[in-house]
Structure 1
Amino acid sequence: MDKIPMTVSGHQALREELNNRLSVERPRIIQDISEARAHGDLSENAEYHAAKEQQSLNEGRIQELESILTLADVIDVSRLSGDTVKFGATVLLIDEDTELEKTYQIVGDPEADASAGRISISSPISRALIGKEVGDSVEVTAPGGAHSYEILEIKYI
């Protein structure tokens, strides 16, 4: 399997989610199952079936998190520098059509959250930005249509 690039903060967030699922969610779900069992006939017990479904989803996410964390290649972005965009860069862009400024940090797939300004290294905009410098214009073809951006600033924080 290939390593999964990840920032220190993204790795920490996934580790915290795993710990929460193991130490808080798992015991709570086990308690819910136990209480539902006490209500009698399991074949017609909706609470029992709902709790078992929760258990299945939680255990699946635990396995997924453990796999991701095992394959994580944690990169300390604060130790990076340079004039070109690469993994971990925080990039200030201006949309050349609308004149709106946007700030994105390029992160690993598991920690991406576009609404929080963290975009996946494998996203169309990240792929277009990699290797570019301040002042460069990039054309991004995305599912929502083509956009042109100019790079205003590149930081590694």
Structure 2
Amino acid sequence: MSKAFTKESDAEDDDAGDGAGVLPLPAGAKNYMTPGGYVRLRDELLELMDVERPKVVEAVHWAAKNGDRSENGDYLYGKKRLREIDRRIRFLTKRLEVAEVTDPSVHHGSDQIFFGATVRYADDAGEERSVTILGIDETDSAQLQVSWISPIARSLLRSREGDVVKLSTPGGARELEILSVRYPAPDPAV
């Protein structure tokens, strides 16, 4: 069938961004990642390729043998899920290929803020918060983790415990006092 007669949404699904909801890397920036983050992404990739995708391919193959594909929900859902898996595999492969694994434990004991630091700070209203600066692909805001390219991380990086830094926000500039800086302890097995 000619592409002229396909629904636009189908084409968009196939060409949509590989990492929906994930920040793109800034031009020329490295994809910094902790060793743990790298392992988690690699494990997800292997799980998708070795377990999830073969299961879905088998289900689609079974559904295809059942006749009319245009009204076969198992077939249609399976094909859609297969596209999602393939898209995620492409995304993870690209991100892992350009990953720059950086072990934050090398800074253990330092009071200067680098990638991988957990920083406790107080804002100009006296409210204390704590964030961990990680890679774009491994952050979880529910765990108080921020990407190294986020505005808060950019303000904190290279500062030291006791410093006061300025953070530009939509509501105006804020001052943050750095109260403590922690890094994970080095792994004695390495």
Q: Common fold, TM-score beyond 0.5?
A: yes
TM-aligned CA deviation for residue 25 of structure 1: 0.9
Asked whether 1:94 is paired with 2:122, we answer yes
Partner of 2:145: 118
1: CA distance, partners of 2:85 / 2:171: 33
Give the paired residue count: 156
Q: Measure the CA separation in 1 of the matches of 2:179 and 2:141.
A: 19
Partner secondary structure for residue 114 of structure 2? coil
Counterparts of 1:114 and 1:102, CA distance in 2:
13
Q: Is the aligned partner of 1:42 residue 2:69?
A: yes
* The structure with more strand, counted as a fraction of residues: 1
Counterpart residue number, 1:53? 80
Equivalent residues in 2 for 1:3-152, closer than 5 Å: 3-81=30-108, 82-97=110-125, 99-142=126-169, 147-152=174-179
**How far apart are 1:77 and its partner, in Å?**
1.1
From the superposition, tell whether residues 137 and 62 of structure 1 become closer, same or farther in structure 2 (CA, over 3 Å). Answer: same
Contact 1:124 1:141 in 2 (8 A): yes
* SS of equivalent to 1:17: helix
Output the aligned Cα RMSD. 1.9
What is the one-letter code of the residue matched to 1:52?
K
Do the aligned partners of 1:2 and 1:71 also contact (CA within 8 Å) in 2? no
Shift, 1:144, TM fit: 7.1
Q: Which amino acid aligns with 2:41?
A: L
CA distance in 2, matches of 1:70, 1:144: 38
TM-score relative to the length of structure 1: 0.89
Q: TM-score, normalised by structure 2?
A: 0.74
Distance 1:3 1:131, change over 3 A: closer
Identity of aligned residues (%): 37
Deviation, 1:101, is: 2.6
Gaps spanning 5+ residues in structure 1: where?
Answer: none
Give the whole-Å Cα distance in 1 for the aligned partners of 2:52 and 2:139. 23
Distance in 2 between residues matched to 1:95 and 1:75, nearest whole Å: 29
Mapped partners of 2:123, 2:77: distance in 1 = 46
- The farther-off stretch of 70-79 and 30-39 is 30-39
